[in-house]
Amino acid sequence: MPKTIINPEDITNLLKADGGYLSGENIASTIGVSRAAVWKAIGQLRKTGYAIESSQSRGYKLLSSPDLCMPDLRAALSESSKKREHELFYFETASSTNVIAMDMAANGCAEGAIVITDTQTAGKGRLGRTWLSPAGRNLYMSMVVRPDIPPRDATALTLLSAVACALAITGHCGVPVSIKWPNDLIAGSRKIGGILTEIRADIDRIYHAVVGIGINVNLSSEELPTGIRQIATSVLIESNRSFNRTALAAEIIMEFDKWYGLLVIHGKKLIMEKWIELSATIGKQVRVAVGDLIYEGTAEGIDDEGLLIVKLADGGSRKFSAGDVTIGGARQ
């Protein structure tokens, strides 16, 4: 008896491999399901953004895939020269990819697992802020890692993630991106994305970490809330063209794999050097808000643990592990 449950990805793989029309009967017999199951799965695929043409005499033909497509992402990652194992978990809607990934990590999922969603209902930012997460526009994903590094070096995960994202967006989209300490991705003078790293560790060991990445990709100016239009931007706004989110996700993951490999083998020195090269903060006049306190001075660099070093206006120096940074007098 044919199976009644079908993985829609099996159908997309067949249609992509053939390139032309495949009859429902051919698809059903190849996968081992009923024709009714094929028809139902085709309907599900269309709802998720696949354009599939149907002909009573010839069958089904794949015209295009959605711009956030897990089969295409798996294929791109499998062809990477920096290939690592990544199990992908896709949710059309999720509360927060970081919340899901942290729960998966606590329950023993493999390193490299990636949670991706089309929209978040409770996206997480720094300092308890929410992250704007409309459907069909941006990239929201979180990766589980289990690095063999001391907890004091955990900030290196945020640094390398920012480096990977900046290089991927710049290289793939042609939009120059810099990094504002500690985790903001900046295009021009406005925020285009951010990183949120969460860890579970004790005094001498990191059990697991989750790196959350949010990138504004195809968000138009009109879709940005009025209150943040002066401080936020997107790849679309900066380049005046839209981009396939699957291709950008693949570039980011491959860059992350490259820099994560360098961290594991060589330590954080190369990562910190690249971060400083891409920094929008170092050498600039800054205001750092820590609670109700405001500190002003020149950002001189970061120390071995990623703390921001600021030479204060009174000639003294202070290191910051957290804070709201303003560059050149305008909050970003």
Number of H helices and E strands in the chain, helices first, is 9, 15
Q: Which residues of 144-155 are buried (b: 16+ CB within 10 A; e: fewer)?
A: bbebebeeebbb
Domains detected in the chain: 8-64 (1.10.10.10), 70-278 (3.30.930.10), 285-331 (2.30.30.100)
User: 205-263, pLDDT tens digit by residue?
Assistant: 999 999 999 999 999 999 888 888 889 999 999 999 999 999 999 999 999 999 999 99
Q: Which band of pLDDT confidence, cut at 50, 70 and 90, is reported for residue 18? A: confident
Q: Which band of pLDDT confidence, cut at 50, 70 and 90, is reported for residue 64? A: confident
Instruction: Please give the angle made by the CA atoms of 135, 66 and 241, to the nearest 5 degrees.
Output: 75
Instruction: For residue 242, count CB atoms less than 10 angstroms from its CB and return exposed for 0-12, middle for 13-18, buried for 19 or more.
Output: middle
**Cβ-Cβ contacts under 8 Å for 167 (sequence gap 6 or more):** 255, 278
The residue-averaged pLDDT of 126-130 equals 49
pTM of the model: 0.86
Q: E strands, 291-331, where?
A: 293-302, 308-312, 317-320, 324-327, 330-331
Q: Which of 123, 135, 105, 112 is nearest to 253 (CA)?
A: 112
Beta bridge pairs of residue 213: 141, 195
Q: Which band of pLDDT confidence, cut at 50, 70 and 90, is reported for residue 81? A: low
Is pLDDT above 50 for 173? yes
Pairwise pLDDT comparison (53 vs 79), residue with the higher score: 53
Residue 63 near residue 51 (C-beta atoms within 8 A): yes
Is pLDDT above 60 for 2? no
Radius of gyration of the chain (CA): 22
CA–CA distance, 14 with 209 (Å, rounded to integer): 36
pLDDT of residue 216: 95
Tokens describing residue 176: 């120059």
Is pLDDT above 60 for 89? yes
SS3 269: helix
The residue-averaged pLDDT of 256-277 equals 94
SS3 327: strand
SS3 59: strand
Is pLDDT above 60 for 125? no
Phi-psi map region of 291: left, alpha, beta (phi>0 left; psi -120 to 50 alpha): left
CA–CA distance, 22 with 58 (Å, rounded to integer): 7
Residue with tokens 């070096």: 153
pLDDT of residue 123: 59
SS3 299: strand
pLDDT of residue 310: 96
Instruction: Please give the angle made by the CA atoms of 53, 56 and 61, to the nearest 5 degrees.
Output: 25
Is pLDDT above 70 for 135? yes
